[in-house]
A and B are shown apart, each in its own frame.
Chain A
Amino acid sequence: MLVGTMPFGLVVGVAGPASGLTAAQSMALSVLSFSGIAQLIVCQLLAVGSPPLVTVLAGSVVSLRFVMYSAAVSPHIAHLDRRMRALIAFLMVDQSFAMTTRHFGAPGDRTNREWHTLGACTTFYVSWQLSVAVGIAVGAQVPASWSLDFAVVLTFISLLVPVLRKRADLAAALVACAVALAAAGLPYRLSLVVASIAGIGAGVAFEAWRKS
């Protein structure tokens, strides 16, 4: 889990200064939001001069999957106090969510399980921040001819391919692709928001159609 994420952290780190953010801004973004995808989208939008409201909207749309994780983890940690739950929520990312659900769902004595989860999530948080910091530091030295920005797209491909499990997933992805290209003329990359919503709608519609 850690090894697979380090290159992603590097790419995200490089994207900050490449998009015109200062090192402090790039690091603050990473420490506070702790989400590679949201960080990359914020960098891309700020690079094209999007206003804060549009940037926050796009960052929220790409983070909607956290709502899904939140609903899945919630019953397992309902017995913990509020501060502990807030901390676990803050540290929850794609990689740690499945682990947390498994860990709390396992049978047996449930006392002190939260400390194990917190330990694992904190380790992940720290290693993520370190790899982002390295990316920020080396980013300026990478020559443009290496086309390192393409690594960002590749990273998204490596996240996309495993989630295409059913035909409905494929329908959602294809419609999102088509709308993203057709709506590319919209200002501030609003095409991302429009295409995401169209793709989600297509997936739901496809599934309903298959069942009917």
Chain B
Amino acid sequence: MSTWLAIVGVAAATFLLRASFILFVDPHKFPRAFRRALLFVPPAVLAAIVAPGLAMPHGALELTLGNARLVAGIVTVAVASRVRHPLVAIAVGMPSLWLLQWLMG
């Protein structure tokens, strides 16, 4: 039941955020500072999601070369910042992880 509640709640929230300025508020009446802050939402949110996925794969901080996900992730960031293709991260990251896991036995 609470799962359904969360699903409906998130659906309502994503719609209201999309509709905010299109249906409800005149964007010209909104403070500039707020719109400037919104520009930093993508880098901040995405980094906050990526960091634990790489640095704490089993729930605790593992900033070592023995952490295959961290190493594979750094390789992926390096390659993706040079090659701009939507599939490059998966194409580089998954084989890197498999290779590292195989090497580390």
Footprint of B on A, CB under 8 Å? 3-5, 7-8, 21, 25, 28-29, 32-35, 37-38, 41-42, 45-46, 50-53, 55-56, 59-71, 73-75, 77, 82, 85-86, 88-90, 92, 146-147, 150-164, 168-170, 172-181, 184, 191-192, 195-200, 202-204, 207
* Listed A/B pairs (5) with beta-carbon separation below 8 Å: A33-B10, A55-B9, A56-B13, A60-B17, A71-B38
Which residue of the partner chain B has the closest CB to A57?
Answer: B13
Question: Quick one: which of B15, B21, B52 contacts A74, CB cutoff 8 A?
Answer: B21
Closest approach, in angstroms, between the C-beta of A155 and any C-beta of chain B?
7
- Asked if B27 contacts A52 (CB within 8 A), the reply is no
Nearest A-chain residue to B76, judged by Cβ: A157
The answer to whether A156 touches B53, judged by C-beta atoms less than 8 angstroms apart, is yes
Q: A25-B4, A151-B93 are in contact. List 5 more A-B contacts (CB 8 A).
A: A51-B2, A70-B19, A74-B27, A157-B89, A158-B89
- Chain B residues whose CB sits within 8 angstroms of the CB of A161 once the complex forms: 77, 80-81, 89
The reply to whether B19 and A203 form a contact with Cβ atoms under 8 Å apart is no
Task: Check B14–A86 contact: CB distance below 8 A.
Answer: no
CB neighbours of A33 from chain B (8 A): 7, 10-11, 14-15
A-B contact count (CB 8 A): 266
The reply on B87 being an interface residue by CB < 8 A is: yes
Interface SS of chain A: helix
Partner of B56 from A169, A173, A184 at Cβ < 8 Å: A184
Give the distance to chain A from B98, nearest Cβ to Cβ, in Å.
7
| Chain B interface residues (CB < 8 Å from chain A) | 2-11, 13-15, 17-23, 27, 30, 33, 35-56, 61, 69, 72-73, 76-77, 80-81, 84-90, 93-94, 97-98, 101
Residue contact A153 to B46, C-beta cutoff 8 Å: no
Contacts of A82 in B (CB 8 A): 23
Instruction: Give the 6 A-B CB pairs with smallest separation, nearest first.
Output: A199-B44, A4-B86, A203-B40, A32-B11, A158-B89, A153-B53
CB distance from B24 to the nearest CB of A (A): 9
Q: Give B7's nearest chain A residue, CB to CB.
A: A29
A200 and B37 in contact, given A35-B14, A74-B27, A153-B69 (Cβ under 8 angstroms): yes
Query: Given the complex of chains A and B, what is the CA–CA distance between A67 and B23 in angstroms?
Result: 11
Complex Cα distance, B4 from A21, in Å, reads 10
Least Cβ distance of A129 to chain B in Å?
14
Find out whether the CB atom of B18 lies under 8 angstroms from the CB atom of A92.
yes
* Contact between chains at B44 and A200 (CB < 8 Å): yes
